[in-house]
Structure 1
Amino acid sequence: MTKKVIMLACAAGMSTLLMVQRMTAAAKNQNKDYDIFAKSTTEIDSQLNSDTIPDIILLGPQVSYLKNDIQHKTDAKQIPMDVMPMVDYGMMNGEKMLAFAEKLMG
């Protein structure tokens, strides 16, 4: 199985760091080899053109207003993208967020 790359994006790339930790722990508990990291939304363009193109991008609820603009970019690269569910984000539920990402990745 190819390693999956999950990118979380928020205003500064910092508020999602705890979610990265929680999702990474959930993936490890499920013996899944995922690369999960957080970046600022301003870094999405460079990430989409890097050597490590994400398999999915999840936006923090606080930047949901950027969804339409980012959707055009991810659609062009055929990468799924959505806003993290507020309840699971607020509860820092890494297992549910990982399941959400996996469902979107197909």
Structure 2
Amino acid sequence: MKQILLVCAAGMSTSLLVTKMKAHAEAIGEEVEIEALPASEASSKVDQVDIIMLGPQVRYQQGQIEQMVAGRIPVTVIDMKDYGTMNGKAVLEKAFSLI
């Protein structure tokens, strides 16, 4: 099972994206664990996930997160359009392509 962590500012809008990503995963028969956390709590999960995806509003923290994972897993910024439209399918497919 793939483990995906979404990192955001507060978690409000990202929680909706998690729901849409899980719905798409279910529709295509994939088992995934997706969680959204504020950037301040990301360090507690970096060793338990396969990829970290940052919301566009916290893209400035990409370098810090990349230092935390030390190259073990991919770290990427969610496309602003996909985030804004809550396109769970596109975000999930991007995660799968990078894992």
Off by >3 Å, runs of 4+ in structure 1 = none
**In 2, Cα distance between the equivalents of 1:12 and 1:25?**
22
Is 1:6 the equivalent of 2:15?
no
Give identity over the alignment, percent: 43
2:76 is aligned, of 70, 82, 101, to: 82
The C-alpha deviation readout for 1:7-64, integer Å capped at 9, x for no partner, is 1010122220000000000000000000011111111111125xxx011010000000
Equivalent residue, structure 1, for 2:30: 32
One-letter amino acid matched to 1:66: Q
The two structures, once aligned, show a CA RMSD in angstroms of: 1.1
Equivalent residue, structure 2, for 1:94: 88
Count, aligned residues: 99
**In 2, Cα distance between the equivalents of 1:26 and 1:11?**
24
CA contact (8 A) 1:7 1:57 kept: yes
Equivalent residue, structure 2, for 1:16: 14
Q: Which runs of 5+ in 2 are unaligned?
A: none
**In 2, Cα distance between the equivalents of 1:8 and 1:83?**
9
Question: What is the DSSP-based 3-state SS (H/G/I as helix, E as strand, rest coil) of the residue aligned with 2:45?
Answer: helix
Cα offset for 1:71? 1.1
Q: Which runs of 5+ in 1 are unaligned?
A: none
One-letter amino acid matched to 2:33: D
One-letter amino acid matched to 1:9: V
With the length of structure 1 as denominator, give the TM-score of the two structures: 0.88
CA contact (8 A) 1:13 1:41 kept: no
One-letter amino acid matched to 2:35: F
